[in-house]
């Protein structure tokens, strides 16, 4: 684990510090079908855990379990000391695969949804979310409807909406899967910078090994269903400011090849 | 052909052609020959137009009665349909319990039910409102419920992790995304509402366009019958247009 990711917090941490995640002996079944089997994973407060695996391997289910949207069939999941689904839900904000921006709300109103849900008045919620628009390169687009934004901007607003919720753990489900390669690379660098100024514990599901290795501190490679951990790798240079340099570095390339090899082993 | 041409000129041309054809067939007596009846029983559009003008105050008086029945009944049906859809969305138990009843509400033969309602509620506006509301209720309830249930499960999950309660999920996500469906249901209801008003008046009334049509039919006043019917069609079209206009104002994201 890299040095700046911080300590395990004894108490539910403040959002800025993140909250530790611990998954032990996790098994999840849908009726007869076993989606996840005997999974052990952990992330320290403020750490970014990447999850890669073949499609349909149960990554999204795992994310929903972490976020408290489901209860596991067996095993334990703890987020910031909370182990029940309600407690995890209180600690996690979920960013779905598609941006899910509400088309009838402006960008800033979309970003402010969590504040409004907690009872903040419209003006106060807009002001608070609007401050993040300034900081994250979206100034001037507060009043735009989602349909008026580019794919990359929509993902930024969707991420801000997750961030504004003020939860210590962010569950990101393939956040940039819908974007073209260039925009995706830009968004990865943007997310790296965002997490540098606003650190949280992140569980990032991706089908893109490079994306996971660049953004995460550690990457768990999962097998085809039922999902098991095939390999766990430390990222060579998590969220390095110069993304292009980082992903072409020999250490990164070697890590990517190890991850790919593990992915192939696990898909069989 | 441009948008406005296709949208307005084309239907106007079709309507004019049909009315023209009708005029020729009726005034030449061809239609009366086909039906094997006296020519005065098959009025031409020109005769209907003059009946409309000659009886304008009588028609206006009765149209006002029917218009109130249509608009108020529609409003009641809309509110009830919307409320029912929301209740059934919020509770699966209620949905299982009441969905068959919702279907049954539309299977009720209005023609049979209308006279009973008149017995229960009297000759006034009451039974007409009940029938119009019953007819409007079904399309609104079914369309709105479908709209509420069509919300993407991912959006629901996202909202739950953003601390939304059930009411907030309904108000901020489900209701807005169900609005286009609600408007579709309302448009259908608007077209059926005049039929409900006419059935209500046929079952027992002392005024209204439906009541007039019934009397005129007995007196073979076919031109005035058509004049009254054209007013009913105009009301349905106007209500439909108002709803379409409201939808364009409200659903701005489509």
Q: What is the ipTM of this complex?
A: 0.84
Q: Are residues B52 and B94 in the same domain?
A: yes
DSSP conformation letters of chain A: --GGG-PPPSSPPPGGG---EEEEEEEEEETTEEEEEEEEEEE-TT-EEEEE--TTSSHHHHHHHHTTSS--SEEEEEETTB-SHHHHHHHEEEE-SS----TTS-HHHHHTHHHHHTT--HHHHHHHHHHHHHHTT-TT-TT--GGGS-HHHHHHHHHHHHHHTT-SEEEEESTTTTS-HHHHHHHHHHHHHHHHHS--EEEEEES-HHHHHHH-SEEEEEPSSSB-EEEEEE-SSTT-S-HHHHHHSHHHHHHHHHHHHHHHHHH-
Q: Are residues B235 and B117 in the same domain?
A: yes
Instruction: Inspect the interface and report whether the beta carbons of B157 and A114 lie closer than 8 Å.
Output: no
Q: Are residues B16 and B49 in the same domain?
A: no
CA distance B212 to B192: 19
Range of the domain at B147: 43-250
Q: Are residues B99 and B76 in the same domain?
A: yes
Residues of chain B with pLDDT under 50: none
Model-wide pTM > 0.90? no
Q: Are residues B51 and B124 in the same domain?
A: yes
Whether B159 contacts chain A with CB within 8 A? yes
pLDDT level of residue A17 (50, 70, 90 thresholds): low
Q: Are residues B115 and B20 in the same domain?
A: no
The reply to whether A112 falls in a domain is yes
More confident position, A204 or A32: A204
Distance of CA A135 to the CA centre of its chain: 20
Instruction: Inspect the interface and report whether the beta carbons of A145 and B253 lie closer than 8 Å.
Output: yes
> How close is the nearest chain A Cα to the Cα of B176, in Å?
7
Q: Are residues B71 and B168 in the same domain?
A: yes
The reply to whether A231 falls in a domain is yes
The reply to whether A119 falls in a domain is yes
Interface test with A, best of B152, B154, B155, B158 (most A CBs within 10 A): B158
The reply to whether A87 falls in a domain is yes
Split into its structural domains, chain A has a count of 1
Q: Are residues B71 and B142 in the same domain?
A: yes
Q: Are residues B110 and B1 in the same domain?
A: no
User: Are the beta carbons of A24 and A76 closer than 8 angstroms?
Assistant: yes
The dihedral region occupied by A58, where left means phi > 0, alpha psi between -120 and 50, and beta the remainder, is: left
Instruction: Inspect the interface and report whether the beta carbons of A93 and B159 lie closer than 8 Å.
Output: no
Sign of CA dihedral B29, B34, B36, B40: negative
Residues A104-126: tens digit of each pLDDT: 999 999 999 999 999 999 999 99
CA distance A80 to A19: 4
Residues B175-224: tens digit of each pLDDT: 999 999 999 999 999 999 999 999 999 998 899 999 999 999 999 999 99
Residues A184-199: tens digit of each pLDDT: 998 999 899 988 888 8
Split into its structural domains, chain B has a count of 2
Tell me whether residue B21 is exposed, middle or buried, using C-beta atoms within 10 angstroms of its C-beta: 0 to 12, 13 to 18, 19 or more: exposed
Query: What's the pLDDT score for residue A15?
Result: 61
Range of the domain at A193: 19-267
Instruction: Inspect the interface and report whether the beta carbons of A69 and B160 lie closer than 8 Å.
Output: yes
The reply to whether A14 falls in a domain is no
CATH of the domain at A161: 3.40.50.300
Whether A145 contacts chain B with CB within 8 A? yes
Distance of CA B186 to the CA centre of its chain: 8
Tell me whether residue B111 is exposed, middle or buried, using C-beta atoms within 10 angstroms of its C-beta: 0 to 12, 13 to 18, 19 or more: exposed
Q: Are residues B31 and B122 in the same domain?
A: no
The reply to whether A11 falls in a domain is no
Residues A148-181: tens digit of each pLDDT: 999 889 999 999 999 999 899 999 999 888 888 8
CA distance B87 to B95: 8
Query: What's the pLDDT score for residue B81?
Result: 96
The reply to whether A12 falls in a domain is no
Q: Are residues B4 and B106 in the same domain?
A: no
Q: Are residues B16 and B78 in the same domain?
A: no
Residues A23-71: tens digit of each pLDDT: 999 999 998 899 999 999 999 999 999 999 888 778 889 999 999 999 9
Range of lowest pLDDT (A80-94, A132-146, B102-116): B102-116
pLDDT over 80 at A268, yes or no: no
CATH of the domain at B135: 1.10.3720.10
The reply to whether A89 falls in a domain is yes
pLDDT level of residue A2 (50, 70, 90 thresholds): very low
């Amino acid at each position: 684990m890299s040095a700046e990711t911080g300590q395990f917090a004894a108490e539910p941490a403040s959002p800025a510090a993140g909250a530790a995640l611990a998954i032990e002996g996790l098994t999840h079944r849908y009726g007869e079908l076993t989606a996840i089997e005997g999974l052990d994973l952990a992330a320290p407060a403020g750490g970014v855990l990447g999850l890669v695996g073949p499609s349909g391997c149960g990554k999204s289910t795992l994310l929903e379990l972490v976020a408290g949207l489901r209860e596991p069939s067996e095993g334990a999941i703890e987020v910031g000391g909370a182990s029940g689904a309600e407690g995890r839900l209180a600690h996690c904000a979920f960013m779905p695969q598609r941006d899910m921006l509400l088309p009838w709300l402006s960008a800033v109103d979309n970003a402010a949804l969590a504040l409004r849900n907690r009872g903040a008045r419209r003006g106060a919620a807009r002001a608070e979310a609007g401050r993040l628009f300034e900081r994250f390169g979206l100034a001037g687009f507060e009043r735009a409807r989602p349909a008026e934004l580019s794919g990359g901007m929509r993902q930024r607003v969707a991420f801000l909406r997750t961030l504004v919720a003020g939860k210590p753990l962010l569950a990101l489900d393939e956040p940039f899967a819908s974007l073209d390669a260039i925009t995706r690379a830009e968004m990865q660098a943007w997310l790296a910078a965002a997490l540098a100024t606003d650190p949280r514990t992140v569980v990032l599901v991706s089908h893109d090994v490079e994306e996971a290795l660049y953004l995460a501190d550690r990457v768990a490679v999962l097998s085809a269903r039922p999902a098991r951990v095939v390999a766990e790798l430390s990222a060579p240079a998590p969220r390095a400011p110069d993304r292009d340099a980082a992903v072409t570095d020999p250490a990164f390339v070697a890590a990517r090849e190890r991850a790919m090899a593990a992915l192939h082993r696990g898909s069989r | 052909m441009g948008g406005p041409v296709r949208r307005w000129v084309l239907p106007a041309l079709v309507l004019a052609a049909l009315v023209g054809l009708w005029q020729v067939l009726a005034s030449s007596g061809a239609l009366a020959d086909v039906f094997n009846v006296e020519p005065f029983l098959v009025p031409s559009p020109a005769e209907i137009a003059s009946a409309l003008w000659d009886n304008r105050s009588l028609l206006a008086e009765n149209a006002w009665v029917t218009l109130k029945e249509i608009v108020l009944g529609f409003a009641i049906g809309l509110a009830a349909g919307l409320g029912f859809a929301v209740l059934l969305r919020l509770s699966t138990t209620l949905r299982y319990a009441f969905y068959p009843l919702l279907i049954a509400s539309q299977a009720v033969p209005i023609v049979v039910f209308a006279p009973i309602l008149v017995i229960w509620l009297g000759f006034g506006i009451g039974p007409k409102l009940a029938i119009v509301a019953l007819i409007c209720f079904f399309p609104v309830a079914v369309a709105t419920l479908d709209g509420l249930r069509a919300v993407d499960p991912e959006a629901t999950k996202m909202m739950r992790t953003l601390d939304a309660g059930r009411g907030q999920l309904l108000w901020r996500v489900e209701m807005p995304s169900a609005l286009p469906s609600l408007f579709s249901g309302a448009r259908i209801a608007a077209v059926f509402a005049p039929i409900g008003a006419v059935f209500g008046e046929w079952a027992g009334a002392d005024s209204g366009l439906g009541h007039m049509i019934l009397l005129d039919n007995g007196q073979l006043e076919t031109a005035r019958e058509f004049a009254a019917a054209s007013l009913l069609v105009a009301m349905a079209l106007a209500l439909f247009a108002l709803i379409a206009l409201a939808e364009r104002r409200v659903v701005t994201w489509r």
